[in-house]
Structure 1
Amino acid sequence: MLENLPFYLGLVMAIVLLIMLANKIKVAYPVLLVLAGLVISFIPGIPVMRIDPELIFFIFLPPLLYEAAWSISWKELWRWRRIISSFAFVVVFLTAMTVAFVSNYFIPGFSLALGFLLGGIVSPPDAVSAGAILKFVKVPKRMSSILEGESLLNDASSLLIFRFAVIAVATGQFIWYEAALSFGWMLTGGVGIGLLVAFIFMKIHKYLPTDANMDIVLTFLAPYIMYLAAEQVHSSGVLAVVSGGLLLSNKRYVFLRSGSRLRGYNVWESLCFVLNGVVFLLIGLDLPEITAGLGGVSLSSAIGYGILITAVLIVGRILSAYGAVVVTLIARNFITVADSRNPGYKVPFVLGWTGMRGVVSLAAALSIPVQLSDGAAFPQRNLILFITFIVILLTLLIQGLTLPYLIKKLITPGMSAEPAEEEVDSLIRKQLAEHALQHLRINHQEQLSKHPVLQQMAQKWETNSSTTEHALMAEECKIVYLDILNQQRQWLLLKNKSEITLDEDIIRRHLQYLDLEEEKLRFV
């Protein structure tokens, strides 16, 4: 391990440089990292990177899922719950089933159980890849919200399929009523344990004398404890992390201080930056070892199988996107839907084209046991790994490189009925200033009359200026200003909750600004 330390440090440096290059040339960084890993793997003398299959889920998935749960808006998740649920559960299952039948028919030696195993691995699209691409183009908020919500939940549904398929391959049988009971426990147990652990951590943060450093360490422990606790009782660790992360994210302004929120955001962003980079680089680095283990399957045949499965995934997702639109248009006649407008043919096609595969598929493929319980080699393991690699590579290259072009051509600014972000931001800034000024004059009139600093703040809010810096504050002024910041924070949270169509990202930016203002008080 130590003799390879310079190589590992070099990989981290390479990740940083490649992502800088990707941002410069406006290409999604997962594409460059996969290609770079592939190139590096052919350099003579490069150490072989091996990760214990049993640990791959535990190392990468809990923190990445936890960070995704913290980033997503619960309000947006609930607003688009029908289409998100259809993509995250129905489409994932139909995709896995289609892959199972296609692979069983076209790939020699592939049973239906192995087909469902492969389907569970390659069915979930990757949020990191889509997010890296959408950073360079503007899309309607509803589309980005659907993609974020889908990516959070489809990991759980696909990994449930994966787990049952592994059991079916290992035992050679599938008893439906036992599977149904097991599925029910994995679902309810995973969600319940995640919420319970999250509740305990919430109380620890709120009632124990923690500081920002302790709070950040606790946020690191939370996803791993959720995952381990659920897995120990044979329920879904993935669902535990997702449900627990969503609860803590939704209550962050109740139990975390402003300093903990600000520092934690930066630390978590850096951690997931490195983890995602390492995983995408691993995809390329693992190819030679996977290829060497293909056994009796020729390389050309294995590539052909990979292309076939990739085509099935791309076509299947596009058809599913149009199917979701048809169902929504029919359902609007009977129930209230979030958006009843006909999106035409362009938006579903773009949504269907966002099916790049990545981190979760690789983690699932690498976690396939090397041997069965009786010591025999796990059937077709390396072929499944190779097909997974081809699927990831092709979807990243074909869809990842063409998606920005398609968005610019097919998605025009006029297609979104949402108000301009700048207008909403300006309106909230004005309303927030009016709310602060009103609270100051009603509740702190005496302090306002005798402290010039508070008078300057009142003048700033009257003119809605954001350029006034803090003067030296007396302790009484700090108390007043903290009260005003808390009032503004509560007003923002209430506004976000009451206005279902308001973009929560705008609210979060203003909440972060209030946290920064609160932190400034430590230095004035």
Structure 2
Amino acid sequence: MFSHLAWHDVDTPLIICCWLTCIILAKIIFHKSRIGHYIPESSLLITLGLIAGYILDHLFVWDIYLHPDLFFLYLLPPIALEAGYMLPFRMFFKNIGTILLYAVVGTCLNILFISGILYLFSSFYQQSIPYIDLLLFSTLISAVDPVAVLSVFEEIHVNQLLYINVFGESLLNDAVVIVLYHSLAHMATIEQIESYHINDAILSFATVATGGVIIGLLFVIFTAFSTKLSVKIPVVQPLISLLLPYCCYLTCESVHMSGIIGIVTCGLMMKPYLDGNLSDKMKTTTKYFMKTLSNTCEAIVFLFLGLSVFSKSHIWDFVFATVTVVACVTVRFFVVIPLTSIANRFRVKRIALVDQAIISYGGLRGAICYGLVQTLDQDVILAKDMMITTTVVVIVFTVFIQGSTIKPLVRLLRVKTEEDKPQLISTQVLNNFADDVMAGIEAVIGRKGGNYYRRRLSAFNHNVLEPNLMLKPTSRGSRLVEKVCEMNNEEIRRNLLQEYQV
């Protein structure tokens, strides 16, 4: 009987299930149709949110928005963990200097230039905004979220150098922005800013970032050791691989360290140890467990972005929004190209000009910007509602316009793509040989460079960490055998497919 339906007992989980079902159906339609050839997936999810927001705005009085605690405590950690876990380990550390230059120096320059441009036009805004508030807003709006760009890169197989620089820069950029944001948010509450406040902010930035890395490394040890002890109950290993990094994030946040730096460090550094403790089935389970959770969280965030367009607390300022969009797009070009010229002086393989253009153009804004702007204190930042509105405008513009045109631009500029080369054992052997030769040259000339320290760390890892943290410590020989087995399996699979098609 309908009169006895207990709707109130299941309304919350049922609404969540309905939303997730809508997201799944939208993704299926997106990948089955030709829409994906023209717009990124994130654009579709924002559009879905726009439709839902329009319906709710006209039929109900609900004002739905993404609560900061929901974003930072539940949605952000899986996204950051999966990004760190899937980051190409060798390529990341090989280009770490350039990535740090983009992520740290480039982010700081973006913040300074954007805040300066916004301050120049401050007399035209509806509300009077102090410079420290504009600096805080410029910090959060500088957070890059190139999910759509990376999906395009994977589809058209851009070269590894471009891919790793965009991926690594976006990952560390988010961490830098969040740490700077919290430092500047504290300064915004101070009536008179003195020089020692700036020094305290710089010291706080260094402490919070370093503390996040240290806590992340400690949890790498906990995670590796736990998976080693649980080898006889493999079904719990994927849960350990997800739960302990999440505990790392919460621990960092509880002691006022950078949770995102901690969980990214944990995800990046624990992968080699998990490879020695997990079976092939558990590796696959862990990988897709993380990817599914991360993808779902990203979808929820973009859905909330679409819903937020119809928020009743919006304050639309055309001048402020226009200046912000133009500043975000142009400043990134003026920062990336000079920094790349500096990086190319110290690089053997230089970053081409067309690659620099794509790195500059690929500065999409997304989840981090929206999550941070929601945490602004309305009592301190009086223009919070206007900043939220402008943040939504910037995200929608970059995701729809830049995200939809990045693929044609890559093809127009004839960006170098990664060719499908056959897998060769000689490639892995030559990579190891090159590392040894470079370390030997540094030893002969008496210089302790990057290869020397990398070799020392590798020796410490092989002699001390791996025997204690891994069930099956790896070596170059074991990795070569694993590579041979992988190639044989791939060749067998191709042969079976050919026979089946015939």
Q: TM-score range by the shorter chain?
A: 0.7 to 0.9
Gaps of 5+ in 1: 371-375, 433-485, 497-506, 518-524
Query: Which residue is equivalent to 1:124?
Result: 143
Quote the offset at 1:257 in angstroms: 2.8
Contact 2:65–2:307 under 8 Å retained in 1: no
Letter matched to residue 421 of structure 1: D
Question: Which residue of 160, 164, 169 corresponds with 1:145?
Answer: 164
Shift in CA distance, 83/431, structure 1 to aligned 2, threshold 3 Å: closer
Corresponding residue SS for 2:144? coil
Letter matched to residue 385 of structure 2: N
Shift in CA distance, 238/357, structure 1 to aligned 2, threshold 3 Å: same
Quote the offset at 1:255 in angstroms: 2.8
Q: Matches of 2:395 and 2:274 in 1, distance apart?
A: 35
Q: Matches of 1:77 and 1:160 in 2, distance apart?
A: 21
Query: Which residue is equivalent to 2:29?
Result: 21
- Indicate whether 1:353 and 2:361 are aligned: yes
Count of aligned pairs:
428
Of the two, which has the highest radius of gyration? 1
Shift in CA distance, 113/377, structure 1 to aligned 2, threshold 3 Å: closer
Query: Which residue is equivalent to 1:288?
Result: 310
Q: Matches of 1:276 and 1:242 in 2, distance apart?
A: 16
Of 385-394 and 177-186, deviating more is 177-186
Corresponding residue SS for 2:382? coil
Q: TM-score scaled to structure 2, two decimals?
A: 0.78
Q: TM-score scaled to structure 1, two decimals?
A: 0.75
Of 277-286 and 302-311, deviating more is 302-311
Question: Which residue of 128, 132, 135 corresponds with 1:109?
Answer: 128
- Indicate whether 1:229 and 2:251 are aligned: yes
Shift in CA distance, 508/311, structure 1 to aligned 2, threshold 3 Å: farther
Q: Please give the per-residue CA displacement for 1:308-346, whole angstroms capped at 9, x wherever unaligned.
A: 2111111111222321332134x24xxxx2413x62x32
Question: Which residue of 173, 182, 185 corresponds with 2:207?
Answer: 185
Query: Which residue is equivalent to 1:45?
Result: 59
Corresponding residue SS for 1:251? helix
Query: Which residue is equivalent to 2:115?
Result: 100
Q: Please give the per-residue CA displacement for 1:172-209, whole angstroms capped at 9, x wherever unaligned.
A: 35412322332222022111111112211211111245
- Indicate whether 1:408 and 2:428 are aligned: no
Pairwise mapping of residues 43-442 of structure 1 onto structure 2 (< 5 A)? 43=55, 44-45=58-59, 47-107=62-122, 108-174=127-193, 175-209=197-231, 211-289=233-311, 292-294=312-314, 297=315, 299=316, 302-329=317-344, 331-332=345-346, 337-340=347-350, 343=352, 345-370=353-378, 376=379, 378-412=381-415, 415=416, 420-423=419-422, 425=423, 427-428=424-425
Q: Matches of 2:406 and 2:106 in 1, distance apart?
A: 21
Letter matched to residue 395 of structure 2: I
Query: Which residue is equivalent to 1:520?
Result: none
Shift in CA distance, 492/283, structure 1 to aligned 2, threshold 3 Å: farther
Q: Matches of 2:399 and 2:137 in 1, distance apart?
A: 18
Letter matched to residue 356 of structure 1: L
Contact 1:203–1:255 under 8 Å retained in 2: no
Letter matched to residue 278 of structure 2: L
Quote the offset at 1:103 in angstroms: 2.3
Contact 1:489–1:511 under 8 Å retained in 2: no
Query: Which residue is equivalent to 1:455?
Result: none
Contact 1:322–1:348 under 8 Å retained in 2: yes
Q: Matches of 1:495 and 1:94 in 2, distance apart?
A: 47
Gaps of 5+ in 2: 1-7, 430-471, 494-502
Quote the offset at 1:135 in angstroms: 3.6
Q: Matches of 2:341 and 2:252 in 1, distance apart?
A: 38
Contact 2:213–2:265 under 8 Å retained in 1: yes
Shift in CA distance, 167/421, structure 1 to aligned 2, threshold 3 Å: same
Shift in CA distance, 211/379, structure 1 to aligned 2, threshold 3 Å: farther
Of 275-284 and 116-125, deviating more is 116-125
Contact 2:146–2:363 under 8 Å retained in 1: no
Shift in CA distance, 234/56, structure 1 to aligned 2, threshold 3 Å: same
Letter matched to residue 140 of structure 1: N
Q: Which runs of 4+ in 1 moved over 6 A?
A: 429-432, 486-489, 511-514
Larger RCO (alpha carbons 8 Å, 6+ apart): 2
Contact 1:100–1:114 under 8 Å retained in 2: no
Contact 2:76–2:297 under 8 Å retained in 1: no
Quote the offset at 1:8 in angstroms: 2.8
Contact 2:66–2:371 under 8 Å retained in 1: no
Contact 1:79–1:338 under 8 Å retained in 2: no
Quote the offset at 1:409 in angstroms: 1.2
Cα-Cα RMSD: 3.1
Letter matched to residue 387 of structure 2: I
Q: Identity over aligned residues, as a percent?
A: 20
Shift in CA distance, 128/280, structure 1 to aligned 2, threshold 3 Å: same
Q: Matches of 1:512 and 1:227 in 2, distance apart?
A: 40
Contact 2:231–2:278 under 8 Å retained in 1: no
Quote the offset at 1:53 in angstroms: 2.2
Letter matched to residue 36 of structure 1: L
Shift in CA distance, 513/142, structure 1 to aligned 2, threshold 3 Å: farther
Q: Please give the per-residue CA displacement for 1:332-362, whole angstroms capped at 9, x wherever unaligned.
A: 4xxxx2413x62x322112211111112112
Query: Which residue is equivalent to 1:472?
Result: none
Query: Which residue is equivalent to 2:461?
Result: none
Quote the offset at 1:138 in angstroms: 2.9
Q: Please give the per-residue CA displacement for 1:61-98, whole angstroms capped at 9, x wherever unaligned.
A: 11111110110012111111222111111111111112
Q: Please give the per-residue CA displacement for 1:133-182, whole angstroms capped at 9, x wherever unaligned.
A: 22432311111111111121111111112111211122335412322332
Corresponding residue SS for 2:188? helix
Q: Please give the per-residue CA displacement for 1:417-460, whole angstroms capped at 9, x wherever unaligned.
A: x6x3332x2x349999xxxxxxxxxxxxxxxxxxxxxxxxxxxx
Q: Matches of 2:112 and 2:22 in 1, distance apart?
A: 39
